[in-house]
């Protein structure tokens, strides 16, 4: 912790160790909500990989590591604010408690760096599969460079976080003046570089997503999924601002770092959630399919008398006639599509775990969602087409033989 000028110390009120003013419970509530959502999303991701796709990749391993460190960060943040004074003014913290307060702050920094790095590594290894066997060498080398960048900053940030002071214990004891790096400048630089790394992982897949061979609507949906990383970047910018506010602009570090704790935990949780969203497409695509089947029961109407073929008879009795081959073909198509939609996904062949593994699900989502409605529509069109054909042939018969017919 940096040295506080005497004039600043004199301007502070008398310490209140018994009943100090605190920031409240906002941090606990926000962290509880986000870590619950995080756990649900990660569980759904694992279910999608193991049960739906029956395949588990390196990106899933990284996301599990990120989840572990994100939960550890949440626990440390709550403990730091509830038990070690990070939610009160610095002058309301007893001197005997400064050492554990700073220790838990250091541990939280290491958890944050680890969780952020593993989240970005998960995204990068996900991108690797998108370009496997695609021939996009430039994009592949861009991923190589990004991975090297992430590994480098991870090692540097961990090293600085631990060995910021020489010896390390000077970080929480302050035994020797000038034995530590300027924590404010170092942490601010780490925050800025972290934002750059987030932007890099968000922008990296955009050119490839823009050139996907799929309908424009689906291509835009894929780009929107990747663009969720900008939300994480914005949260990182907010966190970086509070790094400056609490460690450089103000001396009351624990009080002004309260929003920093919230922003850090939210940034990590959102990062893991956004990194898992594209992987959930195969699972989420089943929900529109079910809704579509449900809605088709109300949007499709039974054939009325206007839709049925014309009836002719001398005695007034009516009987329906359709083109058997056309109608049977439309019904067969409808059944075939229904069967295709209920087939359980087969496990991905071991030799094809790249480009087709992810993009195939994206390309089929909308066709699955609308297949039932399309089947009903085609069946009705087939029937109406048969009616028109029947009427035309009937007129021709009447013209050639004007005698009354019984059909």
Q: What is the 3 state secondary structure string of 173-221?
A: HCCCCCCECCHHHHHHHHHHHHHHHHHHHHHCCHHHHHCCCCCHHHHHH
Contact by Cβ (8 Å): 351, 287: no
Q: If you average pLDDT over every residue of the chain, what do you get?
A: 77
pLDDT of residue 319: 41
Which tens digits make up the pLDDT trace of 20-63?
999 989 999 999 999 999 999 999 999 988 988 888 889 999 99
CA 398/CA 405 separation, integer angstroms = 8
The alpha helices in 97-169, defined as continuous H runs, are: 98-131, 137-162
Give the long-range contacts of residues 222-231, CB within 8 A, separation 24 or more: 222/278, 222/362, 225/277, 225/278, 225/281, 226/202, 226/278, 227/202, 228/274, 228/277, 229/123, 229/198, 229/199, 229/201, 229/202, 229/271, 229/274, 230/202, 231/270, 231/274
Residue spans in the chain of domains classed CATH 1.20.1070: 16-280
pLDDT of residue 294: 40
Which tens digits make up the pLDDT trace of 322-333?
454 554 555 455
DSSP state of 348: P
- Res. 126: pLDDT tops 50: yes
Residue 43, SS3 per DSSP: helix
User: What's the CATH fold of domain 16-280?
Assistant: Rhopdopsin 7-helix transmembrane proteins (1.20.1070)
Which tens digits make up the pLDDT trace of 171-195?
988 766 677 889 999 999 999 999 9
Helix (H) or strand (E) holding 402: none
* pLDDT, greater one: 232 or 211: 232
How many angstroms separate the first and last alpha carbons of the chain? 98
CA 331/CA 338 separation, integer angstroms = 11
Q: Could you tell me which residues are beta bridge partners of residue 226?
A: none
* pLDDT, greater one: 119 or 318: 119
What is the pTM (predicted TM-score) of this model? 0.71
Which tens digits make up the pLDDT trace of 190-218?
999 999 999 999 999 888 777 777 777 77
Contact by Cβ (8 Å): 323, 404: no
Within 8 A by CB and 6+ apart from 83, the residues are none
In this prediction, what percent of the chain has a pLDDT beyond 90?
44
Which tens digits make up the pLDDT trace of 130-171?
887 667 788 889 999 999 999 999 999 999 999 999 889 889
């Amino acid at each position: 912790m940096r040295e506080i000028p005497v004039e600043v110390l004199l301007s502070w009120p008398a310490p209140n160790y018994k009943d100090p003013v605190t920031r409240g419970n906002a941090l606990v509530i926000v962290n509880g909500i986000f870590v619950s959502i995080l756990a649900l999303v990660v569980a759904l991701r694992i279910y999608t990989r193991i049960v739906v796709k029956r395949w588990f990749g390196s990106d899933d391993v990284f996301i599990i590591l990120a989840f572990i460190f994100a939960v550890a960060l949440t626990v440390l943040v709550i403990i730091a604010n509830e038990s070690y004074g990070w939610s009160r003014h610095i002058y309301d913290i007893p001197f005997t408690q400064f050492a554990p307060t700073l220790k838990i702050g250091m541990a939280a920094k290491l958890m944050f760096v680890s969780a952020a790095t593993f989240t970005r590594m998960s995204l990068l290894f996900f991108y690797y599969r998108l370009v496997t066997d695609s021939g996009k060498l430039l994009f592949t080398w861009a991923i190589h460079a990004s991975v090297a960048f992430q590994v480098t900053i991870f090692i540097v940030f961990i090293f600085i976080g631990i060995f910021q002071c020489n010896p390390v214990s000077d970080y929480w004891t302050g035994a020797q003046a000038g034995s530590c790096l300027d924590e404010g400048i170092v942490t601010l630089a780490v925050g800025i570089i972290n934002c750059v790394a987030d932007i890099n992982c968000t922008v990296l897949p955009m050119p490839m997503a823009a050139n996907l061979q799929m309908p424009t609507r689906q291509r835009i949906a894929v780009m929107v999924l990747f663009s969720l990383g900008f939300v994480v970047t914005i949260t990182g910018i907010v966190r970086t601002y509070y790094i400056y506010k609490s460690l450089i602009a103000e001396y009351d570090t624990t009080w002004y770092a309260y929003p920093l704790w919230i922003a850090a935990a939210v940034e990590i949780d959102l990062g893991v959630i956004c990194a898992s969203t594209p992987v959930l497409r195969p699972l989420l695509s089943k929900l529109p399919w079910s809704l579509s089947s449900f809605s088709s029961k109300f949007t499709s109407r039974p054939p009325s008398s206007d839709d049925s073929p014309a009836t002719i008879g001398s005695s007034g009795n009516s009987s329906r006639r359709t083109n058997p081959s056309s109608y049977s073909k439309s019904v067969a198509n409808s059944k075939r599509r229904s069967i295709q939609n209920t087939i359980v996904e087969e496990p991905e062949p071991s030799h094809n775990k790249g480009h087709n593994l992810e993009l195939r699900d994206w390309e089929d989502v909308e066709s699955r969602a609308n297949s039932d409605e399309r089947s009903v529509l085609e069946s009705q069109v087939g029937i109406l087409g048969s009616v028109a054909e029947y009427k035309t042939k009937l007129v021709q018969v009447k013209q050639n033989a004007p005698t009354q017919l019984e059909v």
